[in-house]
Amino acid sequence: MLKKLLTQLAFFLHSSKPYNRVKKIVSDFLLNSDYIYKKYFDIFMILLIISSVAILVYEVKHPVAPWVDFFDIYVVTTIFTLEYLARIWVHNSWHNEVVREYGDVKFLNKKFCLWSPTKRVLLDKLSYMASPTAIIDLLAILPAYRPLRVLRIFVLFRVFKLLRYTKSINQFLGVLGSKKFELYTLLFLLLFITVTAGIAIYVFEEKSNDSINSLFDALYWALITISTVGYGDISPVTPEGRVVSMLIIITGIAMISFVTSVIVSSFSEKLTELKENRLVEEINKEEDFMIICGYGQMTRMFLRHYEHEYAKRYIIIEKDKERVEEAIKEGYRAIQEDASRHDVIAKFNTDYAQVTLLAMTNSDVANIYITLNAKAISRNIRVISRASSERIAKKSRLAGADSVVMPSLIANRMLFTAITQPVMYKAVYAILTGQHLAQLDEVNTVYHQKIVGKSIKELRLKEQKLLSIGYESCKNRTFVFNPSLDYVIEEGDILLLMGRQMSINHFKETYKEIGYVHT
Amino acid sequence: MFTRNAFLFGYNKKRRFIARELEKEPLNLILVVDEEASYHQAKDDGFREVIFMDLTDDELLENLKINDNDYLVCVMTDHYMNVFLTLSLHSIFPQAIILALSDSPHNTQKLKMAGASRIIDLYQVSANRIHNMLHKPVATKLIERLFSPEEEFSFKEIEIPKGSSLDQVMVNDFDFSEHHVILIGMIDERLSHQFIFITSGLENRFDVGDTLVCIGYNEDLERFEQFVGL
């Protein structure tokens, strides 16, 4: 009976949209570094930790107000407890495991055993609870238990919790982790020399030196000396002991230099990677950003004119090291990666941010591959691809490109217009290059609600030195060119106006009112 | 035979479009190339007047019989050669209109210094297009359609002839919507030879010789052109 109920509960949870949505949100806040609101949660937790430690330090010499105690014992601890439980909750999904097992068992016509998936999930959760970070989380809750004063020192574990919320400390540990072998070797060497020197000084001076009464004293002296700290509370008195001192001082200096060089070299090796990761992390926090694949003449020209508009909301991905260096030298945000690789594009936050990808390499084949790669990762990525001919443009569209740019075709058309219609060329050139004299701009009813329900005539465009060129209909997104003055603008329409930037800005300001965005 | 010539210096697959389109215009199209492969390709593509010559030789260039109002289009793939040719043509035919294709701001500047009348920067125009695609998708689509020869609406230049019903009419007094066309701007011969956008706020008057730039459906534009001619 209980088994049936629990199985039903698992199926219910598995199909429950609200439950899964809540779990996803909690998981994003706790674990997803690409989630744009996670940083606020992290900052909040860091502030809690700092306040808790500050209270601990303050109350060593001063009495604290009852509300401060209440805050420290109940508020901070409750939040930490909830966080600890939430982390265990989102670590894995019991219902998913049950549903999966149930499906497999039914497929094989075997008897379903609820305990088997439940045990797996519990063991997995226990294994998480035994992990160092989870233990730190648990120990950080203990200081709330006041009868045992000694537990107050566990507040320091709250400091360790900072590791969860600060990337730089994690990165530092990550870099040290990459030199694990060298550091372990040095540690063993240090232990070996310390123990050997400790035993030697114990043997030589136990009888003649009043400060050395046990092997522990000798080992303590050896460690203090080899680390070059040298408190001076214990010092050798026999010539043999002094020789040992000299030897371990020299060894200590050599070891410190060695450790420093290992850490510095590992940092310099990882520096580029760290910088690139930081760039990706930074851009993933944006709500909309642009990935530019390839740093050639086209990208250069695009950024030269429009970089200021995108500020930090773009990243260049280029395979060629020299080109990346050139881009960085120019002050652009570039990383050396291959944009046609799945993992390279997948590390961008395509779930929450509006991502535009420009496939701008010199190779048509590469651009098509990059387009396919991006679209395979997420259909939401908007791709603008470069193509050298109409045939390639067709293939790019088939690959999923939302728009295709053909530099030679555009230039040919401009040349043709310049020859056949020279007056018009000037007008078109001004419009295309967005000169102040004539801008062709869009007025979206979503952001300019006040124009909804008004006829074009009522907008008095002529008085504002504006021209109505047409509108994109909300109904079927078709473009209606040169509409009648009696046309009444509907919600969702996009009005296309021409005029000086000043006139357009004034018009937009007049009718600005944000409405609901229909999806 | 037409009175005006268009000399296209340089030919390859990418320039086939411009050559084909120019062929349809009331112009004598002459392709001038300095590579044998380009010469054969142009011939294979069906162009009748193709000249194969050394473009660094000024004497040969002088023999091309270029008139003052002819169009000289420099689209050589070699940038150095393109700039050099522009300079040579400008020194030999100072009155001719030279159009050139560039692929960088530095090259554009050099072509300008060499005497090109109009320079189209391949990448600048494309960069603008990408920017417009991102920020003004509807406007970009419209511009693409206006440029496309297959579309039913386009731009048109209309010159006001003698005896036109538009002569002496104030721009603000004329209702273009009755003719279903949109006046974008004009060259007012009386005031200046510069192109003026209609949205610049100037109160102009139409005179004989002024050139209007309108957009509209092709049929409406044709009808309006006839109306202007009446």
Inter-chain CB proximity B125 and A407 less than 8 Å? yes
What is the mean pLDDT of the segment spanning A315-329? 93
* Mean pLDDT on B62-83: 89
User: Would you say residue A509 has pLDDT above 70?
Assistant: yes
Q: Which residue of A has its CA nearest to B121?
A: A411
List the single residue in B with minimal CA-CA distance to A483.
Answer: B180
DSSP E strands, chain B: 5-9, 28-33, 50-52, 71-74, 97-102, 118-121, 153-159, 181-187, 195-197, 211-217
The per-residue pLDDT for B22 is: 83
Which chain B residues are Cβ-neighbours of A438 within 8 angstroms?
Answer: 184-185, 197, 199
- How many of the other CB atoms lie within 10 Å of CB of A5? 9
For chain A, the domains span 2-165, 180-271, 287-410, 435-510
* Better-scored residue on pLDDT, A175 or B214: B214
The H-or-E segment that residue A495 falls in is strand A494-499
Where residue A65 falls among pLDDT bands split at 50, 70, 90?
confident
Query: In terms of Cα–Cα distance, which of B220, B131, B124, B132 is closest to A496?
Result: B132
Summarize the confidence of residues A93-111 as an average pLDDT. 84
A491-500 per-position pLDDT tens digit: 888 998 888 8
Cβ distance A496 to B199 less than 8 Å, yes or no, reads: no
CA angle at residue B193 from B187 to B194, to 5 degrees?
Answer: 70
Average pLDDT along chain A: 86
Which CATH number applies to B5-125? Answer: 3.40.50.720
> Averaged over B48-59, what is the pLDDT?
91
Q: Does A465 sit within 8 Å of B200, measured CB to CB?
A: yes
| Residue carrying structure tokens 């989870």 | A134
Give pLDDT tens digits for B134-180: 878 888 888 777 777 677 788 888 889 988 888 888 888 888 888 88
A150-159, A187-196, A276-285, A307-316: which is most confident: A187-196
Residue B18, pLDDT score: 83
Please say if the pLDDT value at position B183 is more than 50. Answer: yes
**In the structure, what pLDDT confidence band is assigned to residue A516 with cuts at 50, 70 and 90?**
low
Residues of B in Cβ contact (< 8 Å) with A397: none
pLDDT of A379 > 80? The answer is: yes
Q: Which of A202-211, A293-302, A487-496, B190-199 has the lowest mean pLDDT?
A: B190-199
Pick the range with the lowest mean pLDDT from A56-60, A156-160, A475-479, A495-499. Answer: A156-160
CA-nearest of A165, A101, A98, A99 to A136 is A165
User: Given CA atoms A339, A343, A345, A347 in this order, what sign does their dihedral have?
Assistant: negative
Q: Are strands A382-386 and A403-405 parallel, antiparallel or unpaired?
A: parallel
Lowest mean pLDDT of A82-91, A93-102, A104-113, name the range. A104-113
Token pair of B56 as six digits: 């660094």
Which among B124, B137, B213 is the nearest to A301, CB-wise?
Answer: B124
Least confident of A135-139, A140-144, A386-390, B83-87: A140-144
pLDDT classification of B202: cutoffs 50, 70, 90: low
Instruction: Report the candidate in A498, A501, A518, A512 with the shortest Cα–Cα distance to residue A451.
Output: A512
The DSSP 8-state label assigned to residue A61 in this structure reads: T
pLDDT at B176: 86
User: With an 8 Å Cβ cutoff, are B123 and A503 in contact?
Assistant: no
| 3-state DSSP of A92-140 | CCHHHHHHHHHHHHHHCCCCCCCHHHHHHHHHHHHHHHCCHHHHHHHHC
DSSP lists the bridge partners of residue A290 as A314, A356
Cβ <8 Å between A467 and B198? yes
Q: Which of A390, A416, A508 to mutate to test the interface with B (most CBs of B within 10 A)?
A: A416
Distance CA A238, CA A235 (A): 10
Distance CA A318, CA A377 (A): 19
H helix or E strand, kind and range, residue A392: helix A390-399
Compute the distance between CA of residue A203 and CA of residue B74 in angstroms, rounded to an integer: 94
At A149 the pLDDT is: 58
Q: Are B29 and B8 in contact (CB under 8 A)?
A: yes
Determine phi and psi for A339, rounding to 5 degrees. -70, -15
Question: Which CATH homologous superfamily contains domain B152-229?
Answer: Regulator of K+ conductance, C-terminal domain (3.30.70.1450)
Pick the CATH number of A287-410 from 3.30.540.10, 3.40.50.300, 3.40.50.720, 3.30.70.20: 3.40.50.720
- Supply the pLDDT for residue B31: 94
A485, B178 Cβ separation under 8 angstroms: no
Q: Which CATH superfamily is domain A435-510 in?
A: Regulator of K+ conductance, C-terminal domain (3.30.70.1450)
Q: Is the pLDDT of residue A179 over 80?
A: yes
Q: What is the pLDDT of residues A5-48, one digit of tens each?
A: 888 898 898 888 899 999 999 998 888 877 778 888 888 988 98
Which chain A residues contact residue B13 at CB under 8 A?
A: 389
CATH number of this structure's domain A180-271: 1.10.287.70
Among candidates A262, A271, A205, which has minimal Cα distance to A235? A205
Question: CB distance A298–B127 less than 8 Å?
Answer: yes
What is the least distance, in Å, from the CA of A303 to any CA of chain B?
A: 8
Flag if B155 and A421 touch (Cβ within 8 Å).
yes
Q: How far is Cα A376 from Cα A399, in angstroms, rounded to an integer?
A: 10
Q: Give A434's pLDDT tier (boundaries 50, 70, 90).
A: low
pLDDT of residue A515: 61
Non-local CB neighbours of A4 within 8 Å, separated by 6+ positions: none
**The tokens of A413 are what?**
């058309």
For the stretch A363-372, contacts whose Cβ atoms lie closer than 8 Å and that sit 24 or more positions apart, written own/partner, are A364/A388, A364/A389, A364/A392, A364/A395, A366/A294, A366/A340, A367/A293, A367/A294, A367/A396, A368/A392, A368/A395, A368/A396, A368/A399, A369/A340, A370/A293, A370/A339, A370/A340, A371/A396, A371/A399, A371/A400, A371/A401, A372/A399, A372/A400
Q: Which residue has the higher pLDDT, B74 or B22?
A: B74
Give the percent of chain A with pLDDT over 90.
31
Residue A518, pLDDT score: 46
Q: Where are the domains of chain B?
A: 5-125, 152-229
For the stretch A211-239, pLDDT in tens is 899 999 999 999 999 988 889 899 999 99
Establish, for the pair of chains A and B, how many residue pairs have beta carbons separated by less than 8 Å. 188
Residue linked to tokens 């054969």: B40
